[in-house]
């Protein structure tokens, strides 16, 4: 197997499935080169339904070069409502053309504003806001410009079909967490999370505030290095660039404290709750990537179970044209069940899983369980360590080790079309084709 890019290896992604050379090329040369359409899984009532029972207006929005959060802020300003009354199911890429659902609380259709580079279509009403995860997945159409070796796309696709089991035309790739989970230019969120899980709050802060990366601007590297050398929080606060707002918030809290573990924990708690959760989620994602990479290295199958595996089953509520794993429905596979569960896997009804480790994680048995325990031992954590204060606590779950999708492939220009279930990353498909620096994905 071909080794992954060094930056990917730092987040637990150790290899490519395909041995063929990559196509190279540029993504997002224009926003239209990266199209994302949400595969909807949210029930709506007719637009003329009673607004008392259905207070949330549901709209389908197509955005060009809009950050999802920025659009929510802009539309809430135009509507004269708080930002909290605008909701959506998934954050999309800014450098793209994206189509997704939003809900506006307490708004009537005639109040919907015109916003530049946004097309807003009213589709109905709902009794509750759309929430994060209220989607089945996403469909992608991605153009790769200036590819040096576009002819390599076909043999790469063939190798990915073999990885899928070769029973149909679908391709498969390991269901890695993509680089954006950890930071494309400075992948440290998992390192912060691992320090938190180990109870080393000071190291967690230093990893986030200090710890310079050669991929950052020179001034930023200098100021992070100053923190590492001096631990002079007051001087660092004076020196740190204004755009590093989360780092500055941590430094400000440390200036007020006495450098106890409680102070370092409080410094981490100055960042938004979703970022606090992301630190621990990134640690779980790193462990998952390591476990999946080890499974690949040892030659265990991804399209069917071996004795000891834990599988999950398909989400029966997903759209007919998309298979979505339901991580809440799992079953341990012993040697007597391998044949029957393999048939379910072949039909897209079951999926081999690996753990997102948390306090309630039950590890697999057999060879898969050996891999899971070896990775946890190597990193120096165990499930009980995820019993943490406040937003850092996590009970864990399991996640499919592979994703399958039908692939549309055109060569002039090189274009990939595919759909993925919620929670899976388009970059884990694209990386197999381009074999590029993850910052370029």
Residue 126 phi/psi, 5° resolution? Answer: -145, 155
Where helices occur in 54-181 by DSSP H, the ranges are 68-79, 153-163
- C-alpha distances (whole Å) from 245 to each of 71, 263, 273 are 21, 18, 15
Instruction: Select from 186, 195, 187, 147 the least CA-distant residue to 27.
Output: 147
- Confirm whether 393 is a catalytic residue: no
What six digits make up the tokens of 149? 């070796």
CA distance 169 to 160: 10
Nearest to 407 by CA among 178, 175, 163, 157: 157
Contact 229, 208 (CB under 8 A): no
Tokens 């040892």 label which residue? Answer: 298
Residue among 39, 4, 32 at smallest CA distance from 19: 4
How far from each other are the two terminal CA atoms of the chain, in whole angstroms? 21
* 3-state SS string for 47-62: CCCCCCCCCEEEEEEE
Place of tokens 């790769």: 144
Judge residue 247's burial from the number of C-beta atoms within 10 Å of its C-beta, 0-12 exposed, 13-18 middle, 19 or more buried. buried
From 33, 93, 105, 309, active-site residue: 93
Which residues have a catalytic role annotated? 93
């Amino acid at each position: 197997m071909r080794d992954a890019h060094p930056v990917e290896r730092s987040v637990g992604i150790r290899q490519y499935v395909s041995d063929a050379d990559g196509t190279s090329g540029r993504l997002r040369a224009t926003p239209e080169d990266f199209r994302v359409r949400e595969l909807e899984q949210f029930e709506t009532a007719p637009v003329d339904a009673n607004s008392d029972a259905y207070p949330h207006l549901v709209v389908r929005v197509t955005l060009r070069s809009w950050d999802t959060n920025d659009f929510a802020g802009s539309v809430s300003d135009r509507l004269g409502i708080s930002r909290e009354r605008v909701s959506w199911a998934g954050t999309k890429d800014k450098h793209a053309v994206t189509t997704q659902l939003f809900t506006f609380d307490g708004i009537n259709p005639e109040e919907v504003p015109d916003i530049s580079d946004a097309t807003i279509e009213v589709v109905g009403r709902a009794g509750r806001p759309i929430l994060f995860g209220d989607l089945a997945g996403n469909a992608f159409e991605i153009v790769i410009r200036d590819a040096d070796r576009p002819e390599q796309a076909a043999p790469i696709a063939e190798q990915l079909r073999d990885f899928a089991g070769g029973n149909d035309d679908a391709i498969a790739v390991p269901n890695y967490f993509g680089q954006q989970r950890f930071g494309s230019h400075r992948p440290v969120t998992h390192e912060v999370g691992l320090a938190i899980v180990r109870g080393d709050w000071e190291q967690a802060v230093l990893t986030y505030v200090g710890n310079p990366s050669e991929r950052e601007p020179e001034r930023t590297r200098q100021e992070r290095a100053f923190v590492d050398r001096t631990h002079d929080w007051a001087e660092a606060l004076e020196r740190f660039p204004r755009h590093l707002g989360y780092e500055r918030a941590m430094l400000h809290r440390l200036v007020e404290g006495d450098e106890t573990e409680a102070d370092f924990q409080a410094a981490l708690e100055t960042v938004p709750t979703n970022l606090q959760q992301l630190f621990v989620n990134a640690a779980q994602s790193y462990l998952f990537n390591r476990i999946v990479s080890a499974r690949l290295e040892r030659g265990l199958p991804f399209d069917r179970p071996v004795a000891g595996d834990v599988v999950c089953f398909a989400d029966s509520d997903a759209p007919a044209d998309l298979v979505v794993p339901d991580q809440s429905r799992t079953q341990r596979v012993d040697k007597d069940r391998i044949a029957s569960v393999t048939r379910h896997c072949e039909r897209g009804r079951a999926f081999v899983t690996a753990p997102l480790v948390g306090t309630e994680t039950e590890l697999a048995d057999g060879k898969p369980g050996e891999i899971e325990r070896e990775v946890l031992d190597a990193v120096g954590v165990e499930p009980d360590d995820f019993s943490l204060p406040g937003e850092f606590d996590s009970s864990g779950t399991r996640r499919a080790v592979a994703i399958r999708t039908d692939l549309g492939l055109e060569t002039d220009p090189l274009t990939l079309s595919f759909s993925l279930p919620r929670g899976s990353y388009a970059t884990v498909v694209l990386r197999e084709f381009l074999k590029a620096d993850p910052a370029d994905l």
